[in-house]
Amino acid sequence: MATHSEYGASTTATEVAAAFAGQIKGKNVVVTGISPASIGYTTVLAIASQQPTHLVLASRTQSKLDIVVKDVNAAHPGVKLHTVLLDLASMDSVKAAAQSVSDLLDHVDVLINNAGISTPERLANTAPDGTPVDGQFLTNHLGVFLWTSLLLPKLRAAPTPSRIVNLTSQGHHLSPVRFSDYPFTKGVYDVPEDEKPREGLPPFFLRTIDGYPGFLGYGQSKTANILHATEMARRFRKRGDQITAFSVHPGTIETELSRSLDQEGQETIAKTAPAGLWKTQDQGAATTLVAAFDPALREVKVGGEGQPLGYLSDCQLRDDMVADHAKGVDTATKLWTVTETMLKHTVDL
């Protein structure tokens, strides 16, 4: 149970930060995906309002980071802000950025993996071991996995239990992880039963460009974010690490996420907002703040057979909103193993 059962869709990150001021003060926090028009912006503004010791902003566009730093400094002078250039689609950049964070901080209390892309185009790529993947899987999962694993020593060094928060989406319902076809080169339904998208999806979500169904690709990557978080949490508990991991659906918020969609795409996404409820950016960061700082969530034993999945929506734990294909210890473990192979990187966990 989260501390505040009254929190919901209209709760703001500013409000949550004030409620958990004692948990934020003195903490070292790292947040990815920071631009003026993104949820990352309101996430760091809210955290900065409650005196963290260090706040690291990691993202791929320096000019956008500079604007956000200026705004945060103006609103909350005195916070030790740092920027780190991070391109999650480049494993060399991920390694360099993780090294920069490690040079800056002796420990990390909270890591918020907020950065992500949603694109209708394939952005064909390969994993470090040569496995073909699409750009969404590469950026939203492989990059996030490597980045998080490289920061584990700093999370382990935290004096109090530390946390990892993966931003996912209800869009994860659109596709399981396609272990036999990560880049969607086969027909949408030409894969084993448990890798197929659900029957009866609105045709729009099956739309392809050059054979690539972008929404399904996004869905696959967001399913991976949930499986990654639960598998990490399970391994942390098994090993006795004082770290846990949650996944968060932030709601429907007007940001730059749909920047590459056409008009029809934008309108379709708009209809996914429950009862037409578009969140403000401050509301859109609220659930992330709960996952990162609510002390009551320390009691949640995330991961493992029969254990909670640690999925939050509208500031509450909502495992009931998770698709069957994003549950399952076997699937989470399989994704972990194949990801290590694809990255040619074994995680110390």
Interaction between residue 64 and ligand NAP (CB under 6 A): yes
Stretch that binds ligand NAP, among 35-43, 186-194, 302-310, 333-341 (CB under 6 A): 35-43
Nearer to ligand NAP, 70 or 186 (CB): 70
57, 167, 174, 233: which one binds ligand NAP (CB under 6 A): 167
Closest listed residue to residue 164, CA positions, set 246, 59, 242, 262: 246
Interaction between residue 283 and ligand NAP (CB under 6 A): no
Residue 13 · residue 285 · CB < 8 Å: yes
Structure tokens at 69: 């730093």
Interaction between residue 136 and ligand NAP (CB under 6 A): no
Closest listed residue to residue 312, CA positions, set 251, 253, 249: 249
Nearer to ligand NAP, 29 or 117 (CB): 117
Nearer to ligand NAP, 191 or 285 (CB): 285
Structure tokens at 136: 């969404």
Nearer to ligand NAP, 49 or 223 (CB): 223
Nearer to ligand NAP, 65 or 158 (CB): 65
CA atoms of 45 and 147, how far apart (whole Å): 23
Q: CA separation (Å) from 130 to 25, 103, 122, 211, 248?
A: 44, 31, 17, 21, 31
Interaction between residue 178 and ligand NAP (CB under 6 A): no
37, 75, 209, 277: which one binds ligand NAP (CB under 6 A): 37
Interaction between residue 219 and ligand NAP (CB under 6 A): no
Structure tokens at 156: 């382990």
Nearest distance from C-beta of residue 343 to ligand NAP, angstroms: 16
Nearer to ligand NAP, 191 or 223 (CB): 223
DSSP string, 104-167: H-S--SEEEE------SS---EE-TTS-EE-HHHIIIIIIHHHHHHHTHHHHHT-SS-EEEEEE
66, 106, 129, 256: which one binds ligand NAP (CB under 6 A): 256
46, 55, 84, 86: which one binds ligand NAP (CB under 6 A): 86
Stretch that binds ligand NAP, among 38-46, 74-82, 193-201, 331-339 (CB under 6 A): 38-46
Phi first, then psi, for residue 228 (nearest 5°) are -60, -45
CA atoms of 257 and 241, how far apart (whole Å): 34
CA atoms of 327 and 194, how far apart (whole Å): 12
CA atoms of 89 and 141, how far apart (whole Å): 9
Interaction between residue 38 and ligand NAP (CB under 6 A): yes
Residues that bind ligand NAP (CB under 6 A): 32-35, 37-40, 59-61, 64, 86-89, 114-117, 139, 167, 169, 249-250, 252-253, 255-257
